[in-house]
Amino acid sequence: MIFGIRIRYILPFLLLTVVAVAVVGFYLEETLGEWLNGHITAELRRFAQVGRTLIEAEAWPLDRENVDRLANRLGQDPAVRITFIAANGRVLGDSQEDGTALQGMGGYASMPEVQEAMEGSPGEETSEATVSTHSMLVIAVPFNHPQGGHGVVRAAISLADLSLLHTHLRGLLYGAGLLFLLFGLSLSNLSAQWVFRPLRYVVEQAHGMAKTVHAPRIDVRGDDAMAGLADSLNLLAAEKDQTLARLSAEQSRMATVLHSMGEGVIAVDEQHAITLMNRSAMELLRLSQPWDGKPLVTVLPAQVLEDLGLDLELADREPLDASTTEFELEGPTPRRLVAVMTPLHERQGHVVVLRDVTEKRRLDSIRRDFVANVSHELRTPVSVIQANAQTLLGNAMEDPAYRRVLATAMERNANRLARIIADLLDLSRLEADQFPMDMERLALLPLVQDVMDLIRASAVEKEISLHIDLPAGVSIWADAEAMRRILINFVDNAVKYIPPNSSIRVRLNGSVNCYRLEVLDDGPGIAPQHVDRLFERFYRVDSGRTRKMGGTGLGLSIVKHLAEKMGESVGMEAVLPHGTLFWVTVSQVEHFSVV
């Protein structure tokens, strides 16, 4: 671009110089040519007049030899030829011819310039002389000898010599014009460099501004138009930096918000090709990297897209309104997803939002099961109490023995109903984080002995032996009531469900970093298919047997929540060849000396 501007800057000067040189050269050539012609003509006339003066001073009669010698003296310049011609046309003398050649010269009387001179006026003619084969410029003047003779003095110069002088003059003019042209071109080029050097600097800096994110500033010098341009570009660069900073900040905020969303977001264009995918979408769809540019059907099943209203045959057709569908995504861990598709308003395409509702659906199922189980659990004692009360209000009041049986059943079911309500309240308080915990350091052995004393009567009744394998000097960091309820639940369940003449053992197992308080029995054990659901609410391995023994189905669920509330975990393991082991982790186990 700079080269083009420089050419456009130099070209007018160049054309002006060429025109000026041409005009001046033409003018000088014409003027100097005319001057040269006039000067040569004047010189020839002077030669002729000098010849006339000399011959008129010559002695009469005119001797050819003397006249010829006179002609030779006048014609010492080889370019000028002097000829003396008598009135009868006889040549008296010539500066270029002598002797016999001079005697043979003739024909001059018929020449126009000679005839004009004979008539009394000077003759000037450019003609082919009979004595020469070259064009000549001729001046002829008459002479009158005082003693009566007269004739013509003829001075001539070859036009070839005159043309040579013209050519030399033209060469000088053209050479001077060419030198002037080269000088003007160099001067205009230097001027262009001097003028456009600031512009080149500004353009280079402007290119740098366009190619870099943080545009460099132009050093503004002076107060001319170029400095104003540089200042304007600096203002544009500052605005560009501010705009880019705002756009970068907006993009960063949008990217942060987008990638921080729990929902998966996929943006697609009018061809159903993916243009944007956030991190949550990648995690939900189990993708290692964004599939930008890939068709949407490669990451979502075709049936799901059809349910959303996308026409896979017509890529440019979009759903008119937002559409929603729910589907299950297969994999090692199946997931339940809800997809919501919304068309874009400012451009063609749409956005698909994915929500993982696996846990929600699981909780919904648990809630439904919970409501059903609570209804079922409450229905039985309420029905018994209601039936017995109706019986008592009938005719059973008069029978003391039957009345006692009915009242005993009512009391037993009322107690069971109270236990269910109490466990439900405790579970609700635990889930609502409203169950107070008083963490303290507890001596482990006395805590376990208290639990065993509470269960011992039931164990003795079934002839079950209880064993404690704990060192005396061990303490743990826990809530006393919560840990007591956990151990009571583990030991009481073992007493209820293992056969008579079995044994239960409480022990501490583990290493420095991880200890577990374990309750081990040698009963028939629990089938593997029940292990994962043992700590769910109202889940029972044997529903009929559990109800018969007065269980509510909430004990292990409460145990799990109590342990989590203390920051611990619980679990169950099978023991080979038979038996069951329930455990709870304990923290900050310390050993102390017992006096």
Q: Which residue, 95, 160, 152, is CA-closest to 126?
A: 160
Q: How far apart are CA 435 and CA 426, in angstroms?
A: 8
275-to-70, 292, 307, 338, 498 alpha-carbon distances in Å: 114, 5, 21, 21, 62
If residue 404 lies in a helix (H) or strand (E), which one and from where to where?
A: helix 400-431
pLDDT at 95: 82
d(CA 104, CA 90): 9
pLDDT greater than 50 at residue 545: no
Instruction: Give the model's pLDDT for residue 61.
Output: 75
- For residues 562 and 585, is the Cβ–Cβ distance under 8 A? no
Contact 84, 55 (CB under 8 A): yes
Q: Around 309, how many Cα atoms within 13 Å sit in the side-chain half-sphere? A: 16
Which residue shows structure tokens 């043992």? Answer: 534
Amino acid at 78: P
**Residue whose entry in the numeric block shows the structure tokens 């979408």:** 281
Q: Determine phi and psi for 55, rounding to 5 degrees.
A: -75, -30
Section 580-593 average pLDDT:
87
More confident residue, 331 or 354: 354
d(CA 360, CA 61): 155
**Concatenated DSSP letters for 198-229?**
HHHHHHHHHHHHHHSSSPPPP---SSSHHHHH
CA dihedral 202, 205, 211, 217 (to 10 degrees): -120
Distance CA 532, CA 560 (A): 13
Q: Which of 343, 338, 363 is nearest to 353 (CA)?
A: 338
DSSP sequence for 163-192 = HHHHHHHHHHHHHHHHHHHHHHHHHHHHHH
Which of the four pLDDT bands, split at 50, 70 and 90, describes residue 451?
very high
Encoded tokens for 487:
């151990």
What is the 3-class SS of 131-158, one letter each residue? Answer: CCCCEEEEEEEEEECCCCCEEEEEEEEE
| Residue closest to 517 by CA, chosen among 431, 439, 434, 587 | 587
CA angle 220, 221, 223 (to 5 degrees): 100
Task: Give the pairing of strands 323-329 and 135-144.
Answer: unpaired
pLDDT at position 225 is: 65
344 band by pLDDT with thresholds 50, 70 and 90: confident
Q: Is residue 249 classed exposed, middle or buried when 0-12, 13-18 and 19+ CB atoms within 10 A define those classes?
A: exposed
**Can you give the C-alpha Rg of the chain in angstroms?**
66
Q: Report how far residue 542's alpha carbon sits from residue 525's, in angstroms, rounded to the nearest whole number.
A: 12
Q: Is the dihedral of CA 56, 57, 63, 68 positive or negative?
A: negative
> For 59-89, how does the pLDDT look when each residue is reduced to its tens digit (9 = 90+)?
767 777 788 788 888 877 777 888 888 888 7
DSSP 94-114: ESS--HHHHHH---GGGSHHH
Q: Which residue has the higher pLDDT, 292 or 507?
A: 507
Give the 3-state secondary structure of 408-460: HHHHHHHHHHHHHHHHHHHHHHHHCCCCCCCEEEEEHHHHHHHHHHHHHHHHH
Mean pLDDT to the nearest integer, 128-152 = 71
Tell me the mean pLDDT in the region 126-144: 64
Residue pointed to by tokens 């769910």: 536
Encode 430-465: b = buried (16+ Cβ within 10 Å), e = exposed: beeeebeeeeeebebbebbeebbeebeeebeeeebe
C-alpha span between 86 and 549 (Å, rounded): 178
Highest mean pLDDT among 368-377, 402-411, 561-570: 561-570
Tell me the per-residue pLDDT of 547-557, one tens digit each, with 9 for 90 and over.
554 456 788 88
Give pLDDT, residue 542.
59
Distance, in Å, from the CA atom of 408 to the CA atom of 400, rounded to the nearest integer, reads 12
SS3 (DSSP) at 127: strand
Instruction: Residue 95: count other Cβ atoms within 10 Å of its Cβ.
Output: 24
pLDDT single digits (tens) 498-512: 999 999 999 998 877
Residues 6, 196: contact at Cβ < 8 Å? Answer: yes
Q: How many CB atoms lie within 10 A of CB 557?
A: 22
Tokens found for residue 20: 């000026």
Is residue 541 scored above 60 in pLDDT?
A: yes
pTM (2 d.p.): 0.45
CA angle 90, 91, 96 (to 5 degrees): 160
> Residue 343 has what pLDDT?
83
DSSP letter string, 269-287 = -TTSBEEEE-HHHHHHTT-
Q: Could you read off the pLDDT of 185-242 as tens digits, one per residue? A: 777 777 766 766 666 666 666 766 666 666 666 666 666 666 667 777 777 777 777 7
